[in-house]
Amino acid sequence: MAEKSAAKKQSCAQKSRKATTKKKKQYDVSFYHDWCKACGICMAFCPQKIIQADKNGKPAISEMEKCVGCRFCEIHCPDFAITVSERKRNRRQNDV
Ligand code: SF4
Ligand code: SF4
């Protein structure tokens, strides 16, 4: 019984260690400024408040690492001027 409990505790510890070492996903947000009419919708909808207007009123990301990839900006842009994509980590040549 005690052995079972110890094994269970070890398994839980391994799981929590795995969870803490898991890397956070990162995203890239691109704007097609030629299509953008500077309406400000994307700036209003971003839950992280990381889209700000540049000197022409067009959107620019201030802190890309804070993007959570929710795609609210992409979905709400009336001019399809935003693309959100997950940043791929560099893979080694022999990885499958
Ligand atoms: S994907 Fe979400 S968090 Fe990232 S910039 Fe767009 S609205 Fe903001
Ligand atoms: S929602 Fe689209 S059109 Fe409006 S400011 Fe943002 S990128 Fe430009």
Domain segments of the chain as ranges: 23-86
* Nearest-angstrom CA–CA distance, 9 and 34: 57
What's the CA gap between 61 and 73, in Å, rounded?
11
HSE-CB at 91 with a 13 A cutoff on CA atoms is: 6
pTM: predicted TM-score of the whole model, two decimal places:
0.75
Q: What is the pLDDT of residue 24?
A: 87
Q: Where are the beta strands (DSSP E) in the chain?
A: 27-31, 51-53, 59-61, 82-86
Q: Which ligand is nearest to the CA of 45?
A: 1
The per-residue pLDDT for range 62-95, each reduced to its tens digit, is 999 999 999 999 999 999 999 999 998 776 666 6
Ligand 2 contact, 72 CB (< 6 A): no
Q: Is 72 in the pocket of ligand 1 (CB under 6 A)?
A: yes
The CATH class that applies to domain 23-86 reads alpha beta
For ligand 1, what atom is nearest to the CA of residue 71? 1
CB 36 within 8 A of CB 23: no
**Ligand located closest to 76 CA:** 2
